Every structure is written in C-alpha cells, then in structure tokens.
C-alpha cells in the first residue's frame, strides 16, 4: 500500500470511526445483556442488539479490508464506493435506533427486561444518536480525502491504460463491476445473518437452506470476478442468470415481509426495518451489477484483458516499470485533465 499522506489519512479516518462506533455498540451490548431476565434470550427481540453489534463489527472490519485493498490497487472507483458504503452504514445506524427502541418496548411489555435498574432506553439513546453522527462526520472526511486520492491516483491510471479514451471507459466499467461484487457480498451476508438469527427458528426448512446459500454466494461472486478477468462469455452468462435469481429472491422477501400471513409478518417484525434496508440496498446493487456485467461482457475481445490482468496487482514497483515502458516523453509530460477517470 502506498504510504502517502492522503492514503494514511484515509486509513486513519476509517480506523478511528470504527473504533468509536464499535466502542459505543460494545458498551450498549454489555448493558443490554446485563438487563435481560433469564429466559429472555429465547425471544426474537432480545437477539436484535447482539445481531446489530455483530453486523457493525463485521461491517467496519470489512470496510478496513476494502480500504487496504483499494489503496493497494490504487482503485479510485473502490475508494469512492467506500464513501457510499459509509453512507449505507449511516442509514443502517439510523434504522438501528428505531429498531432497538421498538425491541426495548416489546421486551418491557413482556417483562423480559429488568425494571430495577435505570431504563435501558435512556442509557442507550445518547449513544444510538451519537453513532450516526460519528459515521456522518466520517463520511464527510472520507469524501474529502477520496477527492484528493482521485487526483493522486489519476497519473498511475493514465500510465497503465494510456491515452485511449475508449479503453479507459472499458477499464472504468471493469473497476465498477469488481467494486460492486465486493459490496454485494457484505449486503447479502448482512441480510442473511439478520434473517437467520432474528427471524428463523432452527426447525424451519429455510434455516439450513439460508445458511447453505451463503458459501454458494461467495463462490458465485469469486467466479464472477474470475470469468470477467478471463473474458469467459459462457461463464458470464451463467453468472448473470444467478444475479437474476438473487434479484427475484430479494424482491420476494421484500413482498413477503409486508404482504403475507399474519404469522409470517409477526416473525419478520423484530427486524423488519433493518431487513428492508438491507434488501433494498441489495436489490439496487444487484441491478447495477447486472448492468455492469452486461457492459463488461460486451467489452470482451477488445484489448482490455491484458490491462486488467496486469493492473490487479499494481504497486509502486510496477508503476516505475510502467513509466520506463511508456518512455521519457510520457513519464515527464503533464497529465491532461480529460484523461482522468471520470
């Protein structure tokens, strides 16, 4: 990973944001577990806060991994995508506050939470309000640094793709597609975890099926990237069919959460707002992924393959090599503003 001031700043912002938010969430989890009465763990509402904490831990750890990956590859699109990912976490943190308030109200009505201590909601509310504020500030700072990184990485991209605007557009589409695959993974997994832990029971037929789908999804996403890099049209067609199947699945779940039998609606209620948020974001991502997959497939056989397979492990040493191959005139010449990825 390049150790420039802006790359280190970007890493620092995401790390500090993750530390603060996870500290707040961890404290709330500890207080909540201490207030639950014995036997409350069998109720779906009692599993909401532990599930949200788990998702936040996974979300921020995954974000740090993607930050390292984006900066290592100098992937401008993924850096921008991380800012959008932060916005999604901001939305989720806002939904979390409403969902936890509803869970506490329900648990109190069922006498499953201690009334001897200070009301948990009054303890939790300041922290739950602070979490979206911290993420919002982090998003603003990340967006500013991403703009600086855009300028910093533009010269590297120019050297590797050259001045061919059509090739740069093809490469841009590829970058967007690969970034979408990485974000698809998180939101699909996030939806599945909430669905399995909060909604489903172990004796439901959907319980083992949903768990089994998770590794299958990981394999499909890995194959999607592999087929795109190898420009395998048959493999891409199969992957796009799976995308449409996933799209149908999430649309079905959205409809089922709000228009079904009263028993099923009651099962979804403890996490319906959070599940809806994840499902809607996932549907949008799948539609964008399908569109980009089709454009990437249309670009097969047009010379992008060599750039893609050389670019994916681009580092400082490869930059120097690329500069030598481009020649002195390119190495020292100014970078036209129209040549940056836009």
When pLDDT is averaged across residues 95-123 and rounded to a whole number, the result is 75
Residues 127 and 202 in one domain: no
SS (H, E, C) the chain: CCCCHHHHHHHHHHHHHHHHHHHHHHHHHHHHHHHECCCHHHCHHHHHHHHHHHHHHHHHHHHHHHHHHHHHHCCHHHHHHHHHHHHHHHHHHHHHHHHHHHHHHHHHHCCCECCCCCCHHHHHHHHHHHHHHHHHHHHHHHHHHHHHHHHHHHHHHHHHHCCCHHHHHHHHHHHHHHHHHHHHHHHHHHHHHHHHHHHCCCCCCHHHHHHHHHHHHHHHHHHHHHHHHHCCHHHHHHHHHHHHHHHHHHHHHHHHHHCCCHHHHHHHHHHHHHHHHHHHHHHHHHHHHHHHHHHHHHCCCCCHHHHHHHHCCCCHHHHHHHHHHHCHHHHCCCCCHHHCCC
Token look-up 């681009």 returns 314
Identify which has the larger pLDDT, 286 or 115: 286
The answer as to whether 205 is a domain residue is yes
Is residue 101 within 8 A of residue 121, CB to CB? The reply is yes
Identify which has the larger pLDDT, 125 or 311: 125
The answer as to whether 322 is a domain residue is no
- How much of the chain exceeds pLDDT 90, in percent? 33
The answer as to whether 22 is a domain residue is yes
- How much of the chain exceeds pLDDT 70, in percent? 81
Residues 100 and 195 in one domain: no
The answer as to whether 334 is a domain residue is no
Residues 20 and 154 in one domain: yes
Residues 213 and 312 in one domain: yes
Residues 44 and 133 in one domain: yes
Q: Structure tokens of 113?
A: 């939470």
The answer as to whether 302 is a domain residue is yes
Rounded Cα distance between 189 and 211, Å, is 10
pLDDT digits (tens, 9 = 90+) for 263-314: 777 777 777 888 888 899 999 999 999 999 999 999 998 887 877 776 444 4
* Boundary-marking domain end, from 140, 161, 182: 161
Residues 130 and 9 in one domain: yes
* Boundary-marking domain end, from 102, 129, 161: 161
Residues 59 and 24 in one domain: yes
Residues 57 and 17 in one domain: yes
* Boundary-marking domain end, from 161, 196, 212: 161
Residues 104 and 212 in one domain: no
Predicted TM-score of the model (pTM): 0.80
- For residue 266, the number of C-alpha atoms closer than 13 Å in the C-beta half-sphere is 5
Range of the domain at 132: 1-161
Residues 25 and 142 in one domain: yes
pLDDT digits (tens, 9 = 90+) for 139-181: 999 999 999 888 777 766 666 665 567 888 888 899 899 999 9
Residues 257 and 279 in one domain: yes
Nearest C-alpha neighbor of 191 from the set 102, 283, 128: 283
The answer as to whether 167 is a domain residue is no
Residues 143 and 217 in one domain: no
**Count of structural domains within the chain:** 2
Is residue 256 within 8 A of residue 264, CB to CB? The reply is yes
The answer as to whether 329 is a domain residue is no
CA 247 to chain centre: 17
Q: What pLDDT score does 329 carry?
A: 37
The answer as to whether 336 is a domain residue is no
């Amino acid at each position: 990973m390049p150790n420039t001031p802006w790359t280190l700043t970007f890493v620092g912002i995401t790390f500090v944001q993750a530390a603060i938010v996870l500290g707040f969430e961890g404290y709330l989890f500890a207080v909540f577990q201490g207030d639950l009465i014995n036997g409350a763990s069998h109720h779906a509402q009692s599993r909401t806060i532990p599930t949200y904490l788990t998702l936040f831990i996974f979300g921020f750890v995954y974000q740090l991994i993607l930050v390292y990956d984006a900066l290592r590859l100098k992937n401008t699109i993924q850096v921008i995508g991380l800012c959008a990912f932060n916005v999604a976490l901001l939305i989720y943190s806002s939904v979390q506050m409403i969902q936890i308030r509803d869970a506490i109200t329900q648990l109190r009505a069922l006498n499953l939470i201690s009334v001897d201590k200070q009301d948990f909601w009054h303890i939790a509310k300041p922290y739950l309000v602070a979490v979206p504020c911290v993420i919002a500030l982090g998003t603003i700072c990340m967006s500013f640094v991403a703009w600086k990184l855009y300028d910093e990485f533009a010269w590297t991209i120019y050297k590797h793709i050259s001045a061919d605007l059509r090739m740069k557009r093809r490469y841009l589409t590829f970058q967007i597609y690969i970034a979408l695959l990485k974000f698809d993974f998180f939101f699909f997994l996030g939806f599945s975890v909430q669905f399995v832990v909060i909604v489903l029971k172990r004796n439901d037929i959907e319980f083992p099926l949903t768990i089994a789908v998770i590794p299958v999804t990981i394999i499909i996403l890995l194959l999607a990237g592999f087929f795109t890099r190898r420009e395998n049209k048959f493999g891409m067609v199969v992957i796009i069919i799976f995308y449409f199947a996933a799209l149908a699945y999430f649309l079905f779940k959205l409809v089922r959460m709000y228009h079904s039998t009263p028993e099923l609606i009651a099962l979804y209620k403890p996490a319906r707002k959070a599940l809806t948020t994840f499902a809607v974001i996932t549907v949008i991502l799948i539609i964008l992924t399908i569109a980009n997959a089709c454009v990437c497939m249309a670009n097969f056989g047009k010379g992008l393959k060599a750039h893609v397979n050389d670019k994916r492990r681009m580092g400082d040493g490869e930059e120097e090599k690329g500069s030598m191959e481009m020649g002195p005139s390119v190495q020292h010449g100014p970078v036209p503003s129209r040549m940056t990825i836009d």
